[in-house]
Chains A and B, each alone.
Chain A
Amino acid sequence: MSLDALLFQAVNGLASASGLFLVAAGLSIIFGVTRIVNMAHGSFYMLGLYLAVTLAPKIGTWIGGPFGFWAGILAAALVVAALGALIEMTLLRRLYGAPELYQLLATFALLLVINDAALFLWGPEDILGPRAPGLSGSVMLLGRRLPEYDIFLALIGPAVLIGLHLLLARTRFGRLIRAATQDREMVAALGINEALLFTMVFALGAGIAGLGGALQMAREPASLTLDLSVLGDAFVVVVVGGMGSIRGAYLAAVLVAEAKALCTALGVVDIFGFTFNMSRLTLVAEFLVMALVLIVRPHGLFGRPQPPAARGGPAEPPLRPFSAPARLLALAAVALFAAMPLIGTLVSYAPVLALDMLVAALFAASLHFIMGPGGMASFGHAAYFGLGAYGTAYAVTALSLPTPLAFATGIGVAAFGAVLFGWFCVRLEGVYFAMLTLAFAQIVWSVAFQWEEVTGGSNGLFDVWPEWPFDSRTGLYLAAFVVTLAGLLLLRRLVFAPFGMALRAARDSRLRAEASGIPVARVRWLAFALAGAVCGAAGGLFAFAKGSISPEAISVGRSIDGLVMVLIGGVQSLIGPVVGAGAFTLLQDSVMRETDYWRALLGLIILAVVLLFPFGIAGGLSRGLRRPGGAR
């Protein structure tokens, strides 16, 4: 690799870093003041790009093409800012008192709704924007052509960084943002209308993200996958840079983007006789940067230690073993599922649906294990589902292992992934945990998407069929039934074991648990790994049930499905995730297949649940309709 190729990629990296920084900076400012991690922030970026692509030619016909391009970018950013203000006033304002998990879910629901709205407005095809007038050429540097627009973008990042710094340091609005980041109540007690401040901050953050997207117009097409990919990247940047630090966000964006650019520049390299295509490993590079920084600085480059997470909502009630009637009911359900092959002779579709339910139940129960007793709401549980599924599928297709061994391989791969990622995740709490788990899941998804030799790329792996005696529908179903039952019983047993008690103690008070001699980090790590292993079993079953696995099946959407299942059933109840998984699977099977806009539908369902029961369905029912949290 030559020096000029490196330079070329370095400028390219800086250009990417600018876009990433704008999203991360907006995310960071909004979080600082409102304490909400806006899952829909990538959607603002995506909308900015779509709007710019649409508005620029329109405005161009009125005021002349060259101005249209720039006016389009500005208009797109302003529209997104206005949309942000609207969303803050209608939705987020109702969520400030709600538990973090609900805030995350509600803004994720918003992401789903916005994505389908974009699908409705602009259609599924990517849309290319016009080139930048005046900057469409390139500059010769060291014999290499550098696109002018990339240089321009590379300069935008530092310009916005300086602009934001001046805004925060020199203006009253900036002082208010800094003060509110520390103590919102005191700001209000000084006569400042914090509701208005929150709206303005949200509009600012959304506008910056929209600007970041709009500026990409001359560089990449508008696409419906941008929201999630940008969100994942922005989370990595924010975690690496340190939540709440603007300059940290810029530095982290540069680090991440340059690491990726370096991989692209290296291209195909030979190391010890193995040929690596480094340009395919950009996401691994991102992961390595994050890992390195977090090992050295657990709170990110410029981050501060997190204050103990404020737990919204009531304290968790103690878990109780089944009452006698509940036990009978559970036994009846087990008997019903055991008899499903017989029912299948009457209703042939029943065992198929039941198998889906079993997989969902195991998946949801494993998520619930770290979420309920563990208090760690993972937004990336699909990663371990995917690792289990791909591990199993690879063992079957490429290694031709016997079915039980392939299944065990899948569980092993998932457990390994959970041990590796868990080491980083369990050190964080609350929204940081949620962001990091989501970022890891996004990385797993991208690796599945990019590593064609092993994962089959976007097509995935086929012909993952089990051998005798699992090759019949009944054989596979009964095996899945036994595995699921064993998994559920194991998790249940663990919750009531001393280990489970230690886990619950760590959830209720990290400090008190540590003072009682509980190694909190290790307990959480083990719980995370166990949940990952059980989740991997669910993934393995899924691969066998479908006969294939593709990246689509392990996307962030699956992580969210799991969260919704757990929430429908109730986080406080052990049987909840199983019931929730059943209900969700039925709902998905009946309603969501009927529409092209099922994501929006799911989003609206989530929003309805969150707004009607801001303290959880179980908590909401017991509290009646009393106002949440009073004036606080």
Chain B
Amino acid sequence: MSTSADTPMLEIDGLEAWYGEAKILFGLSLAVAPGEAVALVGRNGAGKSTTMKAVMGLVRRRARRLALHGKDMAGLPTYAVARLGIGYVPEDRRIFTDLTVGENLDLGSRAVRPGDGGLIGPDWPREALFALFPNLAALQDRLGGQMSGGEQQMLAVARALVGRPALLLLDEPSEGVAPIIVEQMIGALAALKASGLSLLISEQNTALCSAVCDRAYVIEQGEVRWQGSMDALDSAVEPTRIFG
């Protein structure tokens, strides 16, 4: 890419989004630098998931600017957003339960295509994926619907990675997952960050946030209320505003 290094990987300015008739986001703005991991924190219903869905074009949205590494994506349909170089790991994982693990991974494989003009992130051949998530290696022929929540979570991340995204949106990767799997997830996310991937993580688990993320945004009622470094978050914001 010819764009300079200080171009943000993800740039959101004045994002508004609706669920049907209900407006959820009221002019939200944030940015993720290349190679940065950013936490999106806030109470349930604050608009974290909606922010990610709005980026992906899964809800009705409007923004002054919505761009991936300088490329505008405000008017693009969902599939085109994905092809620009964004991997999406949704809140409830949304594994294809009737497909095997291998088939789930195959479906993700062509998100970013060379020559499409998208931003191509690090390559994740199967060996690298299974090194990241050892549990998946033995489960390749298992149906998605027959996996535990933690295994599904790993598969959801892996499925997004095979598309070679440059930016990964992770919606609550530790939700409903056993503590031991959360540990593994933290390790995997740190490895992803080390590989050069940019991450935007919506999370309520402080351990995961502080282990992986550089900066944080606090969202309340569809707007950003605080932003700063991960270290400053603890002292600056009362926990009830985030986890209430």
Contact = CB atoms under 8 A, between A and B. Distances in A.
Interface of A: 172, 175-176, 178-179, 181-183, 185-195, 314, 627, 629-632
A29 to B, nearest CB: 14
B83 interface: yes
Interface in B207-223: none
B96 interface: yes
When A and B form their complex, which 6 residue pairs have the shortest distance between CB atoms, in order from nearest? A630-B60, A191-B111, A191-B82, A188-B78, A186-B94, A179-B96
B106 A632 contact: no
Contacts of A187: 107
Nearest to A630: B60
A186 B78 CA distance: 9
A182 B56 contact: no
A631 B18 CA distance: 9
Contacts of A193: 79-80
Nearest to B20: A629
Given A189-B58, A190-B108, 13 more contacts: A183-B96, A188-B79, A189-B78, A190-B82, A190-B88, A191-B83, A630-B18, A630-B59, A630-B61, A631-B58, A631-B60, A631-B77, A632-B58
A190 B107 contact: yes
Contacts of B82: 188-191
Nearest to A627: B60
B103 interface: yes
B173 interface: no
A463 B18 CA distance: 62
B99 A179 contact: yes
A192 B79 contact: yes
Contacts of B80: 193
11 contacts: A179-B107, A181-B98, A188-B78, A190-B79, A190-B107, A629-B20, A630-B20, A630-B60, A630-B61, A631-B57, A631-B61
Nearest to B111: A191
Q: Which of A172, A179, A189 has the most CB of B within 10 A?
A: A189
B96 A632 contact: no
Contacts of B96: 178-179, 182-183, 186
B107 to A, nearest CB: 6
A178 B60 contact: no
A190 B111 contact: yes
Nearest to B84: A191
Contacts of B112: 191
A178 to B, nearest CB: 6
Contacts of B160: 190
Given A186-B90, A190-B107, A178 B58 contact: no
B99 A189 contact: no
B159 A182 contact: no
A263 to B, nearest CB: 38
Contacts of B113: 191
B114 to A, nearest CB: 13
B58 A172 contact: no
State which size class the interface on B falls in.
20 to 34
Contacts of B140: none
A176 B109 CA distance: 12
B241 interface: no
A314 B18 CA distance: 15
A188 B80 CA distance: 8
Contacts of A190: 79, 82, 88, 107-108, 111, 159-160, 163
Interface of B: 18, 20-21, 56-61, 77-80, 82-83, 88, 90, 94, 96-99, 103, 106-108, 110-113, 159-160, 163
Contacts of A630: 18, 20, 59-61
A190 B8 CA distance: 22
A629 B60 contact: yes
A189 B88 contact: yes
A178 B95 CA distance: 12
Contact of A191 (B79, B90, B98, B106): B79
Contacts of A186: 90, 94, 96
Contact of A172 (B18, B90, B98, B106): B106
Contacts of A629: 20, 60
A185 to B, nearest CB: 6
Nearest to B159: A190
A189 B90 contact: yes
Contacts of A185: 58, 78, 94
Contacts of A195: 77
A187 B18 CA distance: 21
A522 B7 CA distance: 64
B100 to A, nearest CB: 10
B110 A191 contact: yes
Nearest to A172: B106
Q: Which of A172, A176, A191, A630 has the most CB of B within 10 A?
A: A191
Nearest to A187: B107
A192 B80 CA distance: 8
A192 B97 CA distance: 18
Contacts of A175: 99, 103, 106-107
A632 B90 contact: no
A631 B98 contact: no
B79 A182 contact: no
Q: By CB atoms of chain B within 10 A, which of A176, A185, A190, A632 has the most?
A: A190
A189 B97 CA distance: 16
Contacts of B83: 191
A189 B98 contact: no
Contacts of B106: 172, 175
Given A182-B98, A191-B79, A631 B88 contact: no
A175 B103 CA distance: 7
A179 B56 CA distance: 18
A192 B81 CA distance: 10
A351 B176 CA distance: 70
Contacts of B111: 190-191
Contacts of A181: 98
A188 B111 CA distance: 9
B107 A176 contact: yes
A194 B96 CA distance: 16
Contacts of B97: 182
Contacts of B61: 630-631
A33 to B, nearest CB: 13
B56 A178 contact: no
A423 to B, nearest CB: 32
Contacts of B77: 188, 195, 631
Contacts of A194: 78-79
A191 B103 contact: no
Contacts of A179: 96, 99, 107
A631 B79 contact: no
B155 to A, nearest CB: 12
A374 B21 CA distance: 25
B56 A189 contact: yes
B98 A178 contact: yes
Contact of B99 (A178, A188, A631): A178
A299 B94 CA distance: 24
Contacts of A627: 60
A203 to B, nearest CB: 19
Contacts of B58: 185, 188-189, 631-632
A631 B59 contact: yes
A333 to B, nearest CB: 35
Nearest to A192: B79
Contact of B59 (A182, A188, A632): A632
B147 to A, nearest CB: 15
B61 to A, nearest CB: 7
B18 A192 contact: no
Nearest to A182: B96
B94 to A, nearest CB: 4
Contacts of B18: 630
A189 B54 CA distance: 12
Contacts of B94: 183, 185-186
A629 B96 CA distance: 25
Contacts of A182: 96-98
